[in-house]
Copies of this chain bind each other. A is one copy, B any other.
């Protein structure tokens, strides 16, 4: 899990302590927190931070593709530092959210009925369910 000392550097962006802390919190516990969750966690190290700043930082990180924004139905957005293309599984027993890897070598057009050379700019796959033998 915790390997690289995730120090973020985005060219052209000031890496303020707020941005660093928001990003650190996201990489520290990869449980897909909401903005409010991030706010609570960042306040521990940066008590003066405001919720608006957390929203701003998250938005900036998402825009610069340092973080992914994940939506489940109409719930609050959640944030995820896993930049690999992946889906999400919401475990209905534990309430936890897991990243799901795509099987190697599959293309969307292998399982979806779309023209072969459609240019996909965004893909969301989210499942909800119950794991076996739970």
Contacts and interface: CB of A to CB of B under 8 A. Distances in A.
Interface of A: 69, 71, 73-74, 77, 87, 89, 92, 100-103, 106, 108, 110-132
A120 B129 contact: yes
Given A77-B74, A103-B110, A111-B106, A130 B126 contact: no
A113 B132 contact: no
A27 B115 CA distance: 26
How many copies of the shown chain assemble into the complex? 2
Contact of A102 (B71, B111, B116, B121): B111
Given A74-B74, A89-B114, A127 B131 contact: no
Contacts of A117: 132
A113 to B, nearest CB: 4
A102 B92 CA distance: 24
Contacts of A77: 74
A108 to B, nearest CB: 7
A112 to B, nearest CB: 5
Nearest to A124: B126
Contacts of A128: 120-123
